[in-house]
Amino acid sequence: MATAVNRKSVMTLFCSPTCAYSHRARFVLWEKGISADIEFIDIHQPSEDLIELNPYGTTPTMVDRDLVLYDSNIIMEYLDERFPHPPLHPMDPVSRARARMMIHRIDQDWYRLMDEIERLPDKKASKPRKMLRESLIASIPVFAAKVYFLSDEFSLVDCTIGPLLWRLPMLGIELPKQAEPIRSYAARLFEREGFQQSLSEYEREYASFIDFATN
């Protein structure tokens, strides 16, 4: 009997239309101009194909011929290496390692708090919400230092940060006036064609709450 893997003749990305981890994988897909099928699923009622492919039933999950990946960072790096132009990771080992460490810190410091906010009831989410806001504010000089995050070139680090910033109003986080460098940085990401194409219909609805979003 055919498995879910060998039934897929083209690269397929199984995504939640609302989760930031799926969003950042789609951001990379569109920035690289990769042709792939995107299948949106209800993570609370995953399809039989997804369960067969991924024992954790999580998104994003990607199938490329007989290869199955189900971690957003692994998927993003695989796409960048499989389709090397334009490169979204530095070419030299030291810079590449630094970028990987930066993504790890973003996941630990910012995405972890985002996950808590989304998981907890509104009143109990006030603490991680405050922590995420304060952490972003403390990083204003970093956002202001370069055109992109600690770089003059757009990279996988930016693909990681963009979906989180897009969700700030939905998370109940309002940035102060002095956070203009974050707003300017966010606007540069949001106006990219790859970002606009990466948005699901659900994610597009967040734009009405974001004062620095583009059309």
**8 Å CB contact between 37 and 10:** yes
Residues 6 or more apart whose CB falls under 8 angstroms from that of 127 comprise: none
159 carries an active-site annotation:
no
**Candidate list 19, 75, 136, 168, residue with the active-site label:** 19
How many alpha carbons lie under 13 Å from residue 121 in its C-beta half-sphere? Answer: 2
Q: Produce one character per residue of 52-91: b if its CB has 16 or more CB atoms within 10 Å, e if not.
A: ebbeebbbbbbbbeeebbbbbbebbbbbbeebeeeebbbe
Is 34 exposed, middle or buried (CB count within 10 Å of its CB: 0-12, 13-18, 19+)?
Answer: middle
Token pair for 196: 């606009």
Token pair for 214: 């583009």
Catalytic residues: 19
